[in-house]
Structure 1
Amino acid sequence: MNHKFSDSNQIGVVSTFSELLNTSFLGPMNSVCWYRDLAGDFKEIVSKLQLEQNITEVYPETLLALRLSEKGHIAREVILSDLRLLTDFGASPSLNLIKNYHRDEELDFISTDVYSYHVDRSPVATDTFLCTYYGAASDILPNDQVKQKILIPQIREKLKELHEGSEAEFEAFLSEHYFDLHYQPKPGAKATNLGLGHLWKLAVDHPRQKVLPCVHRAPVENDGEYRLLLIC
Structure 2
Amino acid sequence: MTNKFLRNHQIKMVNHFSDLINTKFQGLNNAICWHRDLTGDFQEIVSKLFLEENITEISIDDLLQLDLTTAGALAREIIINDIKQLTEFGASPSLNLLKQYERDDEFDFISTDVYSYHVDRSPIATDTFLCTYHGAASDILANEQATQKVLIPEIRAKLRTLFDGPEAEFEAFLTEYFFDLHYQAHGDAKPTNLGVGHLWRLAVDHPTQDVLPCVHRAPMENPGEYRLLLIC
User: For the superposition of Structure 1 and Structure 2, which TM-score range results when normalised by the shorter chain?
Assistant: over 0.9
Give the % identical residues. Answer: 68
Q: What is the identity, as a one-letter code, of the residue corresponding to 1:83?
A: I
CA distance in 2, matches of 1:215, 1:230: 18
CA distance in 2, matches of 1:226, 1:170: 40
How far the C-alpha of 1:187 sits from its partner, in A, is: 1.4
CA distance in 2, matches of 1:219, 1:52: 20
Residue 185 (structure 1) aligns with = 185
CA distance in 2, matches of 1:223, 1:165: 44
TM-score (norm 1): 0.99
Q: SS state of the match for residue 210, structure 1? A: coil
Residue 69 (structure 1) aligns with = 69
TM-score (norm 2): 0.99
How far the C-alpha of 1:2 sits from its partner, in A, is: 4.8
Q: SS state of the match for residue 4, structure 2? A: coil
Residue 13 (structure 1) aligns with = 13
CA distance in 2, matches of 1:96, 1:62: 12
Residue 90 (structure 1) aligns with = 90
CA distance in 2, matches of 1:119, 1:40: 32
How far the C-alpha of 1:4 sits from its partner, in A, is: 2.4
Residue 206 (structure 1) aligns with = 206
Give the total of aligned pairs: 232
How far the C-alpha of 1:3 sits from its partner, in A, is: 3.2
CA distance in 2, matches of 1:14, 1:60: 26
Q: SS state of the match for residue 57, structure 1? A: strand
Q: What is the identity, as a one-letter code, of the residue corresponding to 2:123?
A: P
Q: Which sections of structure 2, spanning at least 5 residues, go unmatched?
A: none
Residue 114 (structure 1) aligns with = 114
- Tell whether 2:125 aligns with 1:125: yes
In 1, are the aligned partners of 2:45 and 2:72 still within 8 Å (CA)? yes
In 1, are the aligned partners of 2:2 and 2:35 still within 8 Å (CA)? no
CA distance in 2, matches of 1:87, 1:129: 11
Q: SS state of the match for residue 19, structure 1? A: helix
Residue 194 (structure 2) aligns with = 194
